[in-house]
Amino acid sequence: MPSTYKKLLKKFLIWKYKHISERQFVFILSVLVGFLAGTGTVVLKNLTHYIRLLLELESFRNHHHALYFIFPIIGLILVYIIKKTWLKKHIGHGISSTLHAISKLNGIIPRYNIYAALITAPLTAGFGGSVGLQGPAVSVGSALGSNAARFFHMSQKTRMLLIGCAAAGAMASMFKAPIAAIIFAVEIFSFDIAFTSLIPLLLASVSAVVTSYFFLGTDVLLRFELTDKFQINDIGFYIILALITGLASVYFSKVYFAITNFFQRFESRAKRLLIGGLAIGTILYIIPALYGEGYGIMNNLLKGDHIAAIGKTPFNFDLSNIWVVIGLLLGIGIFKAVAMTTTFGAGGVGGVFIPTLVMGSALGNAFAKIINNIGLDFHVSESNFTLIGMTGLMAGVLHAPLTAIFLIAEITGGYELFVPLMIVSAISFSITKYYISHSIYTLKLAERGELITHDKDKNVLMVLNIDKVIETNFIVLKPEMTLRYILNNAVAKSSRNHFPVVDDKYRFLGVIRLDDIRHMMFNQDLYDKVDAASLMHGDAGIINYEEDSMSVIMKKFKNSGAWNLPVIKEGKYYGYISKSKLLTAYRQQLINFT
């Protein structure tokens, strides 16, 4: 930053410190971050839209079906070239990367995240990759929020709050659903519903929605107004649908992890691109409805136009036969997870959020059609079951039941469906939670012990940095050193009361405490007869720098009753952690979290 800008920023920060309270400035920043996140989301949507318009030119239309195979591969190749030649950095899944930044990077997100997803996600989805844009929108917004906080020299606590504001803003702008956006931030990012966090989240959400209305008008992604009311007689069918969406959520998650693990076997990105590109091209050629995000499927099913939702296929199916239609809808639901994850595996950039809605809408609509055509004189609202199916998949796959309820209710005006929304969301979430403990976003983070949850104790221990509590200013002894040397060169020159003993390769052998030699300190006959090897003893426990999390370290202190424990790094002695310093650091982080 040029010196002129630094001077201006410094003057502004001094003026801000004198005239604006910290809380007021956080409110102002939350509005700014909401605007930035909303703008980023609008740009993301428009870039994707214009790429699709370009690919629908007259010169392509006669060959459009064959191009369903080619276009996604072209998009993936472009993303590969950009990553390899320009970005030269890894682009993670938006929400997972943001959660990792909150838990392990103190909310610091690199600047390149602002534009990385903004360029690569539209190329992936615009060229037909079967992914969504919600994850990239959160990634862009979170990077903007983090860097805005750093620009204005805000604290770590405020930086994390502004990331949550950005995530809520991205969600609000994408769906024009400010209430669901706040719940999304609370549920996915584990923010507390307190005045200090709720008001900024509210301001950011509203700011992002206003931004979206300003640029896009009243245009919404899901165009539907509820017309069929909830019927109590349908409650049994909703419960069955909840069971189906719960099992489908388990299937979706299992497929995601299985295909992801398959592609991770290949170290070469080029191999992943080749295998994944051919696979996704084949899938989209056979099932064209999976092309792109899938809003067309959802909107057409909600309108009752299943012919348009299915689209043209390379096979001459008899779409006047309702059972053929049901089979095709089930196929769309089953293969959406495969197409999405294969796109990721090939190197595409996108989100999971929208594909879950697409799968849920297809399954919910197909289930309603089965009920209405099974010949038992039942009739249910296909549009309502389409909505409820979306809710069930979102609640199960994303482990976000409240977000699922309020998002579907808010974007469709379907508040009269609250009872089935709650029933299906709760059952679907419970089934998925039983089989899969964490969502697609959080499983890898949880396995590494890096997941922020609503458990404040775990959060504080996770965020604590082991390097900040390790003390290294101890005088180190060797086994052959005599008592005379220890007294003259260690005890006399140190304020510490314990001294680690290591060998020539700096491997930890034991410790000598002041109490171990106090009784012989004035017995000069022993000065040259006793050495460190005979005085040292094992410590109450050892901390492994590479393996032990802060939670494990805290348990070692509790179980051993020790006040100091040695740290071993790469097999060598590294330093000590004291219980008093650890508890002081814990208390400070707890204050930050609350």
User: How many distinct structural domains can be found in the chain?
Assistant: 3
CA distances from 283 to 131, 165, 288, 313, 471 (A): 14, 37, 8, 11, 57
415 lies in the same domain as 317: yes
372 lies in the same domain as 440: yes
41 lies in the same domain as 183: yes
- Please give the span between the terminal C-alpha atoms of the chain, in angstroms, as a whole number: 34
* 46's tokens: 């428009």
Residue appearing with tokens 């849920």: 360
444 lies in the same domain as 339: yes
Residue 65: per-residue pLDDT: 63
22 lies in the same domain as 131: yes
574 lies in the same domain as 439: no
Domain-embedded: residue 342: yes
Residue 259: per-residue pLDDT: 92
477 lies in the same domain as 409: no
DSSP symbol at 487? I
194 lies in the same domain as 245: no
DSSP symbol at 523? -
Domain-embedded: residue 226: no
Return the bridge partners of 502, or none. Answer: 508
The CATH number linked to 478 is 3.10.580.10
Phi first, then psi: give them for residue 576, nearest 5 degrees.
-130, 150
433 lies in the same domain as 487: no
Domain-embedded: residue 222: no
Of 394, 418, 453, the one marking the end of a domain is 453
Reading the chain (594 residues) residue by residue, the pLDDT tens digits are 456 767 776 776 776 677 777 788 888 888 999 999 999 898 988 898 888 888 775 555 555 566 777 888 888 899 889 888 887 777 767 677 777 777 777 778 888 888 888 888 899 988 888 888 888 888 888 888 888 888 887 877 788 888 888 889 999 988 888 888 888 888 877 666 655 678 888 899 999 999 888 887 666 666 666 777 778 888 999 999 999 999 999 999 999 999 988 998 888 888 888 998 899 888 888 888 888 888 888 888 888 888 888 877 777 777 788 898 999 999 999 999 999 999 988 888 888 888 999 999 999 999 999 999 988 888 888 888 999 999 999 999 988 899 999 888 888 765 778 889 999 999 999 999 999 888 877 777 666 666 666 556 666 666 677 878 888 888 888 888 888 888 888 888 887 888 888 888 888 888 888 888 888 888 887 778 888 888 888 877 888 888 887 778 888 888 888 888 888 888 888 888 888 888 887 777 776 665
275 lies in the same domain as 135: no
- Say what the pTM is: 0.79
260 lies in the same domain as 345: yes
Of 167, 182, 216, the one marking the end of a domain is 216
The CATH number linked to 341 is 1.10.3080.10
Spatial contact of 393 and 359, defined as CB atoms under 8 Å apart: yes
Residue 594: per-residue pLDDT: 58
Domain-embedded: residue 224: no
Residue 456: per-residue pLDDT: 63
Domain-embedded: residue 28: yes
Of 407, 438, 453, the one marking the end of a domain is 453
Distance CA 403, CA 185 (A): 9
Residue 193: per-residue pLDDT: 60
Domain-embedded: residue 198: yes
Domain-embedded: residue 367: yes
What domain range includes position 474? 459-593
411 lies in the same domain as 501: no
Percent helix / strand / coil, the chain, rounded to 5: 70, 5, 25
Domain-embedded: residue 223: no
